[in-house]
């Protein structure tokens, strides 16, 4: 059986020596997203890139406006495009947007991410993190990101491509919390650790 393993998740009881893992209480845990082959007891780390899927929510920046499409920087090897014939709102170079992945396909001899339902995000700042750390930043049932939002009074949108938009409130504290999660995604009890940090520094 082959399964996807998220950072901080237990891979198996016993010790497996592989990149992207750590040992705790005689069990092996994943420190990065990876694939575990239970039969072969082999872990393959998938650290790094974001692989676009239909329905993914992303955050990006308009870099070029063409007659037929807007080109979007998604902080990835793949450019995003928004077909102008499907959108009524006018966007400009430099605009920050939130959008949804419609499809991932070849366009003009390159693989591009076709986006739909773009929403312009006014003001704020962008923070780039490793896409593989996004699930940890969001948390199960949005618990981690809700905790940060409530403590900092900051509006936060986390794109699955690893780009985070922040506006208002204590942006510096929110940024510190997110970067701490990115660096310590493999640590158990991280939710409580971030909660304590927010309470201490938010006073």
With a cut of 90, say whether residue 140 has pLDDT above it.
no
| Same-domain pairing of 131 and 154 | yes
CB under 8 Å to 25, separation ≥6 — which residues? Answer: none
Same domain, 152 and 135: yes
Q: How far is CA 2 from the centre of its chain?
A: 23
Q: Which residues contact 141 (CB under 8 A, 6 or more apart)?
A: none
Q: What kind and span of H or E run contains 91? A: none
How far, in Å, CA of 159 to CA of 161, rounded? 5
Output the pTM of the full model: 0.75
Other C-beta atoms lying within 10 Å of the C-beta of residue 67: 5
Q: Are residues 116 and 129 in the same domain?
A: no
150 within 8 A of 143, measured Cβ to Cβ: no
Which stretch of DSSP H or E encloses residue 199? helix 190-201
17 is in which domain, residue-wise? 2-45
Are both 39 and 79 inside the same structural domain?
no
Residue 50 belongs to a domain: no
Q: What would the pLDDT profile of 52-106 be if each residue is shown by its tens digit?
A: 889 999 999 999 988 889 999 998 888 999 998 877 778 999 999 999 999 988 8
């Amino acid at each position: 059986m082959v399964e996807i393993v998220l950072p901080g998740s237990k891979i198996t009881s016993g010790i497996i020596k592989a990149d992207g893992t750590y040992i705790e209480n005689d069990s092996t845990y994943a420190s990065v997203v990876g694939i575990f082959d239970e039969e072969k007891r082999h872990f393959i780390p998938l650290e790094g890139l974001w692989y676009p899927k239909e329905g993914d929510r992303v955050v990006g920046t308009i870099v070029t406006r063409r007659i037929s499409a807007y080109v979007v920087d998604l902080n990835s090897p793949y450019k995003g495009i928004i077909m102008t014939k499907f959108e009524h709102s006018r966007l400009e170079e430099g605009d920050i947007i939130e959008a949804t992945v419609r499809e991932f396909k070849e366009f003009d001899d390159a693989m591009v991410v076709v986006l739909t339902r773009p929403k312009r995000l006014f003001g704020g700042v962008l923070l780039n993190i490793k896409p593989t750390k996004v699930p940890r930043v969001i948390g199960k049932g949005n618990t981690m990101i809700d905790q940060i939002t409530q403590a900092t009074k900051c509006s936060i949108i986390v794109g699955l491509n690893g780009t985070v938009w922040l506006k208002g409130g204590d942006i510096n504290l929110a940024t510190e919390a997110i970067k701490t999660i990115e660096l310590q995604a493999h640590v158990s009890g991280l939710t409580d650790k971030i909660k304590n940090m927010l309470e201490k520094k938010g006073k």
